[in-house]
Amino acid sequence: MSVGTTYLDWNATSPLRDEAIAAMQAALSHCGNPSSVHRAGRKARAMLETARAQVAALIGARPESIVFTSGGSEANVTALAGFPARRLIVSAIEHDSVRVAPNATVIPAKPDGTADLGTLDWMLAADPRPALVSLMAANNETGAIQDIAEASRIAHRHGALLHCDAVQAAGKIPFDFAALGCDLVTLSAHKLGGPPGVGALVVTPGIDIAPLIHGGGQERGRRAGTENLPGIVGFGAAAEAARNALEAYSRIAALRDLAERRLLAIAPDAIIHATQTPRLANTLCISMSGVAASTQIMALDLAGVMVSAGSACSSGKVRRSHVLEAMGVDAATAESAIRISLGWYTAESDIDHLVEAWGALYARTRASAA
């Protein structure tokens, strides 16, 4: 980042880790298709499989469970389209790539930002048809952490499969694929220090999933097309680095909590969302009463502080959060909410910069309203 700027939009994308850069440089200097049987192809295959093992280790999965994709959205769509005989049940707080699934039944959210698993239990009991349930591990806007283990128990009790979008959770909180009982998990490289344009769908051994992309035998026939070797090895290196640095999030949590205290000291009427449930250590969703999120984002950007309003997957548009709406937050409060997300090189000076810029905007809006 340039001098005088503060990047607090890590949930949108993170900077490349040094380990990922080094791994990608090595892959970019190598010419070989992982499907070729000559020595260059075998070396490329070895690099690919090393990365597969690194990504699997991040969540305690088996390497053969990893299916590399172009990112989290493709992995989500593959999971939801991969079982055409099953009806879909998705939570109201999911990423758009899940929410747009056709003919899906929606699990409502509770005011604390978690999915209503009691309603999920009722939905599955009321209709005996085989189902696929999709519930994210942690919300990208509020940071609210979902009870995936309980969702898995409910789903399996009714013969359903559970897909979990762990894009925001992986590398930030411990995530044990087997212990949580997930059948499918979505991962994305650029949320944990890897490159954009690469992700993975993790599939429990023994589950047959229809491929979304046909035309080749790559990824054990589950995703056709020559693998993005530089992106995948960068993903693997970033996954390993993230797994080794999970303890760093205790420091990040302290900075997030400091930001919350200081912002509320300036504006006691501000509202921080999802504080009644465990959240990701790096995520803060706050509403400045009476000031549109778009206004806040532009003012903070002019002051050198980069934040966002909800998901960053809306082609640059600032729109009311469907997550806050699902939580029952009123329209005016939802429209004034911004997301502040921290990362491994966030420093206390960045919090100082945020508080100064946000506080100045708050003072201006209150002065103009007087």
Q: CATH number, domain at 267?
A: 3.90.1150.10
Do 204 and 337 reside in the same domain of the chain?
A: no
Q: How confident is the model at residue 182 (pLDDT cuts 50, 70, 90)?
A: very high
Residue 97, amino acid: S
> Is 313 annotated as catalytic?
yes
Q: Which one, of 187, 162, 160, lies nearest residue 175 by Cα?
A: 187
Query: Are 322 and 290 within 8 A, CB to CB?
Result: no
Query: How many domains does the chain divide into?
Result: 2
pLDDT for position 1: 59
Which one of the listed residues 31, 182, 285, 313 is annotated catalytic? 313
Do 155 and 52 reside in the same domain of the chain?
A: yes
pLDDT for position 326: 96
Do 292 and 192 reside in the same domain of the chain?
A: no
Three-class SS of 256-274: HHHHHHHHHHHCCCCEECC
What is the rounded average pLDDT for all residues in the chain? 95
For residue 235, is it within any domain?
yes
For residue 301, is it within any domain?
yes
Do 191 and 334 reside in the same domain of the chain?
A: no
Do 189 and 226 reside in the same domain of the chain?
A: yes
Q: Which residues pair with 145 in a beta bridge?
A: 138
Q: How far apart are CA 241 and CA 201, in angstroms?
A: 20
How do residues 294-333 score in pLDDT, each as one tens digit?
Answer: 999 999 999 999 999 865 554 455 667 999 999 999 999 9
Q: What percent of the chain has pLDDT over 70?
A: 96
Do 211 and 91 reside in the same domain of the chain?
A: yes
How do residues 78-133 score in pLDDT, each as one tens digit?
Answer: 999 999 999 999 999 999 999 999 999 999 999 999 999 999 999 999 999 999 99
Do 148 and 238 reside in the same domain of the chain?
A: yes
Q: How confident is the model at residue 367 (pLDDT cuts 50, 70, 90)?
A: confident
Output the CA torsion 232→236→238→239 (10° steps).
Answer: 130
Domain that holds residue 270: 6-14+247-369
pLDDT for position 247: 93
For residue 185, is it within any domain?
yes
The single residue listed with the structure tokens 């937050």 is: 329
Last residue in a domain, options 213, 244, 275: 244
Output the CA torsion 59→60→62→67 (10° steps).
Answer: 0
Last residue in a domain, options 187, 218, 244: 244
Q: Which one, of 92, 91, 69, lies nearest residue 82 by Cα?
A: 69
Do 220 and 352 reside in the same domain of the chain?
A: no
Q: What percent of the chain has pLDDT over 90?
A: 94
pLDDT for position 310: 66
For residue 1, is it within any domain?
no
pTM assigned to the model: 0.95
For residue 119, is it within any domain?
yes
How do residues 197-232 score in pLDDT, each as one tens digit?
Answer: 999 999 999 999 999 999 889 999 999 999 999 999
- What's 205's domain CATH number? 3.40.640.10
Query: Are 166 and 185 within 8 A, CB to CB?
Result: yes
CB under 8 Å to 188, separation ≥6 — which residues?
71, 72, 75, 167, 198, 199
**What tokens appear for 328 in the block?**
């029952």
Do 150 and 35 reside in the same domain of the chain?
A: yes
Do 262 and 239 reside in the same domain of the chain?
A: no
Do 299 and 208 reside in the same domain of the chain?
A: no
The arrangement of strands across the sheet holding 184-188 comes to 66-69, 199-203, 184-188, 161-165, 131-134, 87-91, 105-107
For residue 310, is it within any domain?
yes
Q: Which residues pair with 308 in a beta bridge?
A: 339
Do 166 and 186 reside in the same domain of the chain?
A: yes
Last residue in a domain, options 221, 244, 267: 244
For residue 222, is it within any domain?
yes
